[in-house]
Amino acid sequence: MAIRELAYRLVDFAETVDPYGYSDAFESKEEAVTALSYSLENDREGIVEWLVSFVDEDDDTAIVKVIKSILDDIEKMGERRTA
C-alpha cells in the first residue's frame, strides 16, 4: 500500500473517531494527508501509539478492526523498507 493511500485511510479514521481533534489540527484534508504521509515516512511510532490508544479505550469492534487493519498496513510498509 502506498504511503499516501494509507495517509488517506488515517485521515478518514481521524475524522470519524476524533472529529474535533482532527479539525483543530488540520485546516483541510489535503493538509492532513500531507502531514500524515510525512509522519508515516519519518515517525511511524507516534501514529502507532495514537492508534493503540483508541484500541485501549474503545470497545467498538468495528473501530478496533479498522485500527488493526491500519496497523497491519503500517507494519507491512516497514517490512518492505527493511527488505
Using alpha carbons only, how large is the chain's radius of gyration in Å?
Answer: 12
Assess contact for 41 and 3: CB atoms under 8 A: yes
Eight-class DSSP state of 8: H
Reported as a single tens digit per residue, the pLDDT across 10-60 is: 999 999 988 999 999 999 999 999 999 999 999 899 999 999 988 877 677
Where residue 79 falls among pLDDT bands split at 50, 70, 90? confident
Cell of 41: 515516512
Residue 82 CA to residue 12 CA, distance in Å, equals 28
